[in-house]
A and B are shown apart, each in its own frame.
Chain A
Amino acid sequence: MAKRMTAEGGASTEDRIRYGFLLTVSRQPSETELENVLNFYKEQAAKPNASDLKTLTLVANVLMNTDEAITKE
């Protein structure tokens, strides 16, 4: 999913995260959600040995495990 977010989501991290929401919960993130996820991305990307793909993999892992992604509403 991180690969798809990179290839299909757009050039900016913000766009890629928005695309991650579309893929998992079929909607755009709220402003707060986007901010939360972006902060997480920055935190993880600053770690040694971090790469864009690794960090987006962590983001994808979180999004796929949200209650909204798992539960049919």
Chain B
Amino acid sequence: MRYLPERMSSELLRAATRRHFFKQSGFGIGAAALTRLMDASEVNPMTARPPMFPAKAKSVIYLFMAGAPSQVDLLDPKPLLQKYDGQNVPEELTKGERFAFIKGTPRLLGSPFEFKRCGSSGAEISELLPHLKNVADDVSIIRSMHTTQFNHAPAQIFMNTGFQIIGRPSMGSWMTYGLGSECKDLPGFVVLISGENQPDGGKACWGAGFLPSVYQGVEFRSQGDPVLFLTNPEGVSEKTRRESLDLLKTLNEQHLASNGDPEIQTRIASYEMAYRMQSSVPELVDIAKEPKSVHELYGTEPGKKSFANNCLLARRLVERGVRFVQLYHRGWDNHGTSSHDDIVNRLPSLCQETDQAAAALIQDLKQHGLLDSTVVVWGGEFGRTPMNEARNKSKFLGRDHHPRAFSMWVAGGGFKPGMTFGKTDDLGYNIAEDPVDVHDLHATILHQMGIDHTKLTYKFQGRDFRLTDVAGNVITKLI
């Protein structure tokens, strides 16, 4: 390349850019995309579209417990694990197994927490989740989840996009791509974050992958103003703002017409959304106006960064017709290397941070008549080992990553309430009955939204892609 005359090399470089491709390909892909865009240009890409068949649910609230909560301490009691606590794990279970941290032969670790049956369904829930117990008859516990990934980032990417490597669209993106959103003044896919830090998978967890980026999740800030710069600069009236945006839109549309890159369409839509959010967001985030009873139910404190505030915001978003709301709460990675990440101290504090608000969300949605039309999902990216990790002979109790079996719960949106689905073996190591993999979960949630997971596709690199790719079965026993 460096020996080519300068002019030629710059032409070659130009030929390689995406925009140049769109412009030059004439009757090729650029023109095809352009035709499709021109048809759609009158329509907001987020306009609500009917589902493929009558849907049970209209919205999803996904409570992503990043870091991976321990199923054997929360939702899947194992009396035998307690009985054999401290003994070596049976060799046949771990033969050839590769762990993230455990070395040698680990010892079984019975849960130090008590489980009791609750509700008329008799669901078994840990003492660490007292509020969830109160809504046990509204949730379904899935004890037979499994995944292929045993490190946080790829596991979170897999749980969100159906593939362990970044680049595929997330579930929320597929949802808004398929159904649009019923709320035109707010993004159709909103992400709210609390807990120790950002999810390990990063922003790709709510990325649009190869779908037009108008469908990617929009992250609100978790502290202070959820969205910045909502007011116009001093001296700029709302009318002037609108007229400026009109000119900007005209110029961008002319650019789109000559160029055809769908990402320009995304930018136009995003400017218009930002304009509408100038009035819709202050109203949305003003949770102080909620009655005292609601704040007591959730444990919310306006202005504070908390999972509880985010749960209340999630209800307010769904109430306004937002399609997909995803909350992240990071911190469940309880390896037991210190008192800050063990199951005796840290796990109970995490439950305190989240239990009340998650249960409140279910009750509150129900009171607002929204639970039937909203799927609520709770869960992490994998489970935790039934064995103590004891990294570097740590005295703190903790568990390593465990992809073979873990628990999640779902509620509302046409899922059967008060059910405990699937079984693990006596030690909670492997699944014994009704396995549910990540694609099955996706297929089932899409089904509740009126989408056939095999038919919601997007052509990319010469083939049709879908959230479940070539796998996934709707778990009919759950719905």
Interface residues, chain A, with chain B CB atoms under 8 Å away: 30, 32-33, 36-37, 40, 43-44, 47, 54, 58, 61-62, 65-68, 70-71, 73
- The contact of A67 among B236, B243, B252, by CB within 8 Å, is B252
Known A-B contacts A40-B243, A58-B240, A73-B20; A66 and B250 likewise in contact (beta carbons under 8 Å): no
Would you call A36 and B252 a contact (CB within 8 A)?
A: no
Known A-B contacts A36-B250, A73-B17, A73-B19; A66 and B244 likewise in contact (beta carbons under 8 Å): no
Residue of A nearest to B14 (CB): A73
Would you call B240 and A44 a contact (CB within 8 A)?
A: yes
Would you call B20 and A67 a contact (CB within 8 A)?
A: no
Whether a CB of chain A sits under 8 angstroms from the CB of B247 is: yes
Whether a CB of chain A sits under 8 angstroms from the CB of B37 is: no
Tell me, in angstroms, the Cα distance from A53 to B401 when the chains sit together: 62
Would you call A40 and B247 a contact (CB within 8 A)?
A: yes
Task: Determine chain A's interface SS by DSSP, over half rule.
Answer: helix
Would you call B243 and A43 a contact (CB within 8 A)?
A: yes
Query: How distant is B237 from chain A, measured CB to nearest CB, in Å?
Result: 9
Residues of chain A with a CB closer than 8 A to B255's CB: 66-68
Would you call B20 and A62 a contact (CB within 8 A)?
A: no
Residues of chain B with a CB closer than 8 A to A30's CB: 254
A-B pairs, top 7 by smallest CB distance, nearest first, are A73-B19, A40-B247, A67-B267, A67-B264, A62-B248, A67-B252, A62-B247
For chain B, residues 237 to 291, give those with C-beta under 8 angstroms from any C-beta of chain A: 240, 243-244, 247-248, 250-252, 254-256, 263-264, 267-268, 271
Please indicate which of the listed interface residues A58, A67, A70, A73 has the most CB atoms of chain B within 10 Å of its own CB: A67
Tell me, in angstroms, the Cα distance from A58 to B246 when the chains sit together: 12
Tell me, in angstroms, the Cα distance from A63 to B52 when the chains sit together: 42
Residues of chain A with a CB closer than 8 A to B256's CB: 67
Known A-B contacts A33-B251, A66-B251, A67-B264; A61 and B17 likewise in contact (beta carbons under 8 Å): no
Residue of A nearest to B268 (CB): A67
Tell me, in angstroms, the Cα distance from A41 to B142 when the chains sit together: 62
Other than the known A47-B240, A58-B244, A65-B248, what 5 A-B pairs have Cβ atoms closer than 8 Å?
Answer: A33-B254, A61-B244, A67-B264, A67-B267, A67-B268
* Pairs A–B under 8 Å by Cβ, sample size 20: A33-B251, A36-B247, A36-B250, A37-B247, A40-B244, A44-B243, A58-B236, A58-B244, A62-B247, A62-B248, A65-B248, A65-B271, A66-B251, A66-B252, A67-B252, A67-B255, A67-B263, A67-B267, A68-B251, A70-B267
Tell me, in angstroms, the Cα distance from A73 to B255 when the chains sit together: 12
Query: How distant is A5 from chain B, measured CB to nearest CB, in Å?
Result: 16
Would you call B17 and A66 a contact (CB within 8 A)?
A: no
Query: How distant is A19 from chain B, measured CB to nearest CB, in Å?
Result: 16
Residues of chain A with a CB closer than 8 A to B251's CB: 33, 36-37, 62, 66, 68
Tell me, in angstroms, the Cα distance from A47 to B237 when the chains sit together: 11
Residue of A nearest to B22 (CB): A73
Tell me, in angstroms, the Cα distance from A4 to B233 when the chains sit together: 21
Residues of chain A with a CB closer than 8 A to B243's CB: 40, 43-44
Query: How distant is A39 from chain B, measured CB to nearest CB, in Å?
Result: 8
Query: How distant is A7 from chain B, measured CB to nearest CB, in Å?
Result: 22
Query: How distant is A61 from chain B, measured CB to nearest CB, in Å?
Result: 6
Would you call A62 and B267 a contact (CB within 8 A)?
A: no
Query: How distant is B307 from chain A, measured CB to nearest CB, in Å?
Result: 35
Residues of chain B with a CB closer than 8 A to A73's CB: 17, 19-20
Tell me, in angstroms, the Cα distance from A66 to B268 when the chains sit together: 9
Query: How distant is A2 from chain B, measured CB to nearest CB, in Å?
Result: 13
- The contact of B244 among A47, A62, A70, by CB within 8 Å, is A62
Tell me, in angstroms, the Cα distance from A62 to B248 when the chains sit together: 6
For chain B, residues 190 to 218, give those with C-beta under 8 angstroms from any C-beta of chain A: none
Residue of A nearest to B271 (CB): A65
- The contact of B19 among A47, A65, A71, by CB within 8 Å, is A71
Would you call B254 and A32 a contact (CB within 8 A)?
A: yes
Query: How distant is A64 from chain B, measured CB to nearest CB, in Å?
Result: 10
Residues of chain B with a CB closer than 8 A to A70's CB: 267
Tell me, in angstroms, the Cα distance from A47 to B271 when the chains sit together: 24
Tell me, in angstroms, the Cα distance from A62 to B245 when the chains sit together: 8
Residues of chain B with a CB closer than 8 A to A67's CB: 252, 255-256, 263-264, 267-268
Tell me, in angstroms, the Cα distance from A66 to B98 when the chains sit together: 52
Tell me, in angstroms, the Cα distance from A48 to B244 when the chains sit together: 17
Query: How distant is B266 from chain A, measured CB to nearest CB, in Å?
Result: 9
